[in-house]
Amino acid sequence: MSRRESLRLDWLTGNVRDLRMRYERACRIIPSGAHEWRMVDAGDRRIRILVHNPEIGGERVIFYFHGGGWIVGSPATHADISGPLSAATGLTVISLDYRLAPEHKAPAAIDDGLAVLDHFRGLHFKSAILCGDSAGGSLALAVERRAVRANILGVASLYGSFGLAANASLHLNGRKRDGLDARTMRRYWMSANLSAGCGPYSIPSLAHASGCPIYLLIAGRDPLRDDSIALARALSDKGRPITVDLHPFEGHSFLQHPCARRSKQIALQRLAYWIGELATSPAPATVFS
């Protein structure tokens, strides 16, 4: 049973604030390893961040964007990904508490990502890697699309969501009880974007020719599997270097599933290897399976 399913929430019609509160209460964890919470000034607002292993420092930093359909979640609910990612890579990971929809539609969360990047650029690092899961995967790619001044080495999307409504995997694997069926996914999308299938998180917006190498983790039993496959094809057509890590027997959010610890370990090892290679040379197109 997935963590989302175990909550037994009405993801389709439930009140967003109630969903957010109950999700946070059930999924919030105490991060493992050294960590600290900080606030970043971003003009008219302040953005909370969770910093894993701040003492590492160095020239490279990972910025992490949590999942949650753009409407729920926080660095605390996804610290079981960002913390182990820091341990696997040996790098400081900064997880952002970006503004959530529907109160803040796109590009609000993107602006928050850019503001945090700008705050740290030149102060604590020379280059960055962006990473995110589910909705955070598309957010990481959208931030890279607009971060013209930042030295971004690569972007990793972990079972990302890119608004592809008419795909076989969504209808085959989607289930209302865990909030990953077609109707509920449309709710998430319309909460964060102004129109169906369009916006800064969509494949047409993200599949551009210029930019850094991309890492796509794909779960074979994920309702959103075909989103990442379609993005991989679109990026490949544009000539972008892509690495695809396929886990054929795993579902959405398996990095947070207690029964998928071995797959999580393998996925983080592969991702850490890819990040390590970014420092030496541009990554070629690769497929892990």
Specify which residues 64 forms β-bridges with.
Answer: 95, 131
Residue of 69, 59, 61, 77 lying closest to 21 (CA atoms): 77
Strands (E), 43-136: 45-52, 60-65, 92-96, 127-133
Stronger pLDDT, 72 or 173, i.e. the higher one: 72
Q: pLDDT grade, residue 198 (50/70/90)?
A: confident
Q: pLDDT grade, residue 1 (50/70/90)?
A: very low
pLDDT for the residue numbered 125: 82
pLDDT of 165 strictly over 80: no
Domains of the chain, by residue range, sit at 3-288
Q: Write out pLDDT tens, residues 185-194.
A: 999 999 999 7
Q: pLDDT grade, residue 126 (50/70/90)?
A: confident
pLDDT for the residue numbered 251: 95
CB 203 within 8 A of CB 163: yes
pLDDT of 20 strictly over 70: yes
pLDDT of 289 strictly over 60: no
CB 105 within 8 A of CB 92: no
pLDDT for the residue numbered 288: 56
pLDDT of 122 strictly over 80: no
Q: pLDDT grade, residue 121 (50/70/90)?
A: confident
Indicate the burial class of 205 (C-beta count within 10 angstroms; 0-12, 13-18, 19 or more): middle
Q: In what order do the strands lie in the sheet with 45-52?
A: 35-42, 45-52, 92-96, 60-65, 127-133, 152-158, 214-219, 242-247, 286-288
Q: Write out pLDDT tens, residues 58-77.
A: 889 999 999 999 999 999 99
- CATH number for the region 3-288 comes to 3.40.50.1820
The CA-atom distances, in angstroms, between 156 and each of 238, 249, 259, 275 are 17, 20, 23, 9
Q: pLDDT grade, residue 24 (50/70/90)?
A: very high
Residue linked to tokens 């910093």:
51
Query: DSSP 3-state helix, strand, coil percentages of the chain (rounded to 5)?
Result: 40, 20, 40
Q: pLDDT grade, residue 172 (50/70/90)?
A: confident
